[in-house]
């Protein structure tokens, strides 16, 4: 079980604003203490890819986060997670019971999200958007 000292800083978080009234720290600082306030978390994979694919999957499931996206823009994840081809992959983990069901999206695969039912986006478009941002910012 997660202790009171556990803290996460996800790359992206989508909150359920109707639940923020139950968050004791929210009015003073952007701290969430209950998984009920979280609709979706996304992590951008970096060199510590094992954390995103293994540890955080377990931790976010314990928090009961309904959907967790793993955005692997360099194909760093192990073969067990993204396959031998090591393609750029968006893994969408949907909480079923207390375990995530994982679906991999690569190239022109249309993303399927339980949170964003009308999402019209492919994995390729996600990664192309990142390249544009890197060019402008970098």
Give the pLDDT band of residue 136 (cuts 50, 70, 90). very low
Q: For position 6, what pLDDT does the model report?
A: 58
pTM above 0.75, yes or no: yes
Does the structure show a pLDDT above 50 at 75? yes
89-96/12-15 β-pairing: unpaired
Q: For position 1, what pLDDT does the model report?
A: 41
Q: Is 116 within a domain?
A: yes
Q: Is 88 within a domain?
A: yes
Q: Which residues contact 102 (CB under 8 A, 6 or more apart)?
A: 91, 92, 93
| Number of folded domains that form the chain | 1
Q: Is 6 within a domain?
A: no
Least confident residue range of 119-123, 124-128, 130-134: 130-134
**Continuous segment of H or E residues that includes residue 59:** helix 56-62
CB contact at 8 A, 43 and 11 = yes
Q: Is 1 within a domain?
A: no
Owning domain of residue 123: 12-137
Q: Is 64 within a domain?
A: yes
Q: Is 106 within a domain?
A: yes
Q: Is 4 within a domain?
A: no
Summarised one tens digit per residue, pLDDT across range 47-69 is 888 889 988 999 899 889 999 99
Q: Is 2 within a domain?
A: no
Does the structure show a pLDDT above 50 at 78? yes
CB contact at 8 A, 74 and 44 = no
Q: For position 131, what pLDDT does the model report?
A: 64
Q: What is the mean pLDDT of residues 25-51?
A: 84
Residue 56 half-sphere exposure, CB side, CA atoms within 13 Å? Answer: 22
Choose among 35, 126, 45: nearest CA to 78. 45
């Amino acid at each position: 079980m997660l202790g009171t000292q556990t803290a996460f800083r996800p790359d992206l978080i989508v909150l359920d604003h109707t639940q923020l009234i139950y968050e004791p720290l929210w009015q003073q600082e952007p701290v969430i203490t209950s998984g009920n306030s979280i609709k979706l978390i996304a992590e951008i994979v970096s060199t510590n890819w094992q954390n995103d694919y293994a540890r955080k999957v377990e931790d976010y499931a314990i928090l009961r986060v309904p959907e967790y996206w793993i955005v692997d823009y360099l194909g760093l994840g192990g073969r067990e997670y993204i396959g031998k081809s090591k393609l750029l992959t968006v893994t969408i983990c949907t909480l079923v019971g207390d375990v995530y069901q994982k679906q991999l999206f690569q190239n022109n695969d249309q993303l399927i999200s339980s949170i964003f039912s009308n999402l019209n986006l492919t994995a390729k478009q996600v990664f192309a958007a990142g390249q544009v941002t890197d060019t402008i910012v970098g």
